[in-house]
Amino acid sequence: MDLKVVCVLSVTLIIALSTLAEGAAPPTRCQCKLSPKERKNCGYPGISAAQCKKIGCCFNASAPGVPWCFTPKPKKVKKMCPNDPYSRINCGHPGITARDCTRKGCCFKAHPAGVPWCFYHRVVEE
C-alpha cells in the first residue's frame, strides 16, 4: 500500500476510536431543528441534557408531551472530486480509461503526471 494511504487510514482509525471512547459526536443545530411531531425518542425518562448530548442526541425541553431527547436528522453529505492532485487516492490501474473509471464510481482527470488519474471522491458535509 502507498504510504499516504496508510497514513490517511491510520489517522482515520485514531479519530474514529477517540470518538468512540468519548461518546458520540454532538449533533449540529440544523440536525436538531425538528418539529415536535417529528421527534423520535433517543433517551430514557429523566435523561439530562448533558447525558442526551453525550450519546449524540438532541435535547429540547420546551414542548411538553413529546420526547425531549430525540434522534437528530442525518447529516447531509456530498461527494466531490478533490482539487489537490497530490491528495488523490488511487481507484484504478495504470492505463484505465475515463469511461471505466467513472463506471467504478470514481473521479478521472488525466493530469498531472505522477499522480493517480482515476481516484476516489471525497465525502464532505454540507
Rounded CA gap, 99 and 44, in Å? 52
Average pLDDT of every residue of the chain = 84
Mean pLDDT of 70-78: 89
For the chain, domain boundaries:
25-73, 77-125
Mean pLDDT of 45-74: 94
The pLDDT value given to residue 26: 82
The pLDDT value given to residue 99: 96
Please tell me the CATH superfamily of domain 77-125, with its number: Spasmolytic Protein, domain 1 (4.10.110.10)
Q: How far apart are the first and last CA of the chain?
A: 31
Q: Do domains 25-73 and 77-125 have the same CATH topology?
A: yes
Rounded CA gap, 27 and 39, in Å? 14
Mean pLDDT of 9-27: 53
Using a cut of 0.85, tell me whether the model's pTM lies above it. Answer: no
Mean pLDDT of 65-74: 94
Residue of 10, 65, 17, 74 whose CA lies nearest to 37: 65
Residue in the structure block whose three cell numbers are 474514529 = 16
Rounded CA gap, 38 and 121, in Å? 33
Q: What percent of the chain has pLDDT over 90?
A: 64
Cell numbers for 19: 470518538
Cell numbers for 15: 479519530
Domain 25-73: which topology? Spasmolytic Protein; domain 1 (4.10.110)
Rounded CA gap, 55 and 24, in Å? 5
The pLDDT value given to residue 2: 64
pLDDT tens digits, 96-120: 999 999 999 999 999 899 999 999 9
The pLDDT value given to residue 75: 83
Residue in the structure block whose three cell numbers are 482539487 = 83
